[in-house]
Copies of this chain bind each other. A is one copy, B any other.
Amino acid sequence: MKLDIAVLSGDGIGPEVTAQAIKALEAIAHSFDHTFIFKEALVGAIAIDKTGNPLPDETLQLCVDTDAVLFGAIGDPKYDNNPSAPVRPEQGLLKLRKELGLYANIRPVKAYSTLIDKSPLKREIIEGTDISIYRELTGGIYFGKKELSDDGTIASDLCEYSKEEIERIAHLAFKAAQKRRKKLTLVDKANVLETSRLWRKVVTEISNKYKDVALDFLFVDNAAMQMILNPSQFDVILTENMFGDIISDEASVIGGSIGLLASASIGNSCCMFEPIHGSYPQATGKGIANPIAAILSAAMLLEHFDLIGEATAIRDAVEKALELNLTTPDLNSNNPLTTEKVGDFIADYI
């Protein structure tokens, strides 16, 4: 197979970890006889510094023209305490999601047995946890009308959802549940929000087409509790944009390391793969960033193109590295490897 892949490595540790993901993909291309062509472009703070725009037009065009996007991370401390600055790195990411129509963000959360003791939660709580979170990514309060009164004393954000926006991601989530443990939990606040009531209605209708999947509902406040009390109860979680942001970040810490978590953002014609950790500016250039989340994002990319054996080869190599404790300082305080050496081991093992 031939794939054109846009590489948007971004800020902070983005470039370092993305380089390891590329190395893994090159090893796959070599072993399985594929052709992957990588094309780099600017995004985030570095794009603002160089062009004044967190998502330059050429970057967007490249993403549209290629088969998939490999994303690193964005964000720089100089923007962090100034969310009112007229131009900010996050705007690049939000615009990219919207323009590419990446309406579904998929985050697998798994408790790796070798890492369970790193978790802030007790072993017996997290054992067996294996969740796939489907977060709606291009609607809701993120993209609704924002207003500030002329005198600056009243602000508003509109949360809006249409039936179609809910349907398309719901189908993806039900299909995923069919391939997993056949359970789907809709997280909402239907006792308060009109949009949540629409989510419940539409998802309930759609569930008739997936009779083998058990559907249940959880209010978001209760979900925030259940995620800590009993995370292994969940299979597929489906939710709207803002709730997905909160619940998936909460879920990301239960496995013991955020440095392992990958994500896919899917649209009708584009797709993007991204580690969920941020740009981690304090670690930049020190060789201490964990590349596994970026490498597992590459595995999700392969899976998306039905290269299942190839994705498994990456996952096996990652499991081997974890088993042998060939890992960065976040997971290995005695004898840590650098970002690059971890990437080398995984690429070699493939």
- A residues near B, CB below 8 A? 81, 83-84, 88, 90, 94, 120-122, 125, 141-142, 144, 146-148, 152-164, 189-198, 200-201, 217, 220-222, 224-225, 227-229, 242-243, 245-250, 252-254, 258
Output the nearest chain B residue to A248 by Cβ-Cβ distance. B221
8 cross-chain pairs, A with B, having the tightest CB-CB distances, nearest first: A83-B190, A155-B198, A146-B194, A224-B250, A221-B249, A153-B163, A156-B160, A155-B194
A193 touches B125 (CB 8 A): no
Indicate which residue in B154, B191, B252 contacts A83 across the interface (CB closer than 8 Å).
B191
Output the nearest chain B residue to A243 by Cβ-Cβ distance. B246
A141 touches B159 (CB 8 A): yes
In the complex, A142→B219 CA distance in Å? 14
In the complex, A92→B47 CA distance in Å? 51
A225 touches B250 (CB 8 A): yes
Least Cβ–Cβ distance between A126 and chain B, in angstroms: 9
Instruction: Please name all residues of chain B whose beta carbon is closer than 8 Å to the beta carbon of A163 when the two chains form the complex.
Output: 152-154
Indicate which residue in B120, B146, B195, B224 contacts A157 across the interface (CB closer than 8 Å).
B195
In the complex, A120→B189 CA distance in Å? 25
Output the nearest chain B residue to A198 by Cβ-Cβ distance. B155
A153 touches B162 (CB 8 A): yes
Residue of A90, A146, A224, A249 most packed against chain B (CB within 10 A): A224
Instruction: Please name all residues of chain B whose beta carbon is closer than 8 Å to the beta carbon of A189 when the two chains form the complex.
Output: 242, 245
Instruction: Please name all residues of chain B whose beta carbon is closer than 8 Å to the beta carbon of A156 when the two chains form the complex.
Output: 144, 158-161, 194-195
A159 touches B162 (CB 8 A): no
Output the nearest chain B residue to A202 by Cβ-Cβ distance. B153
B200 touches A83 (CB 8 A): yes
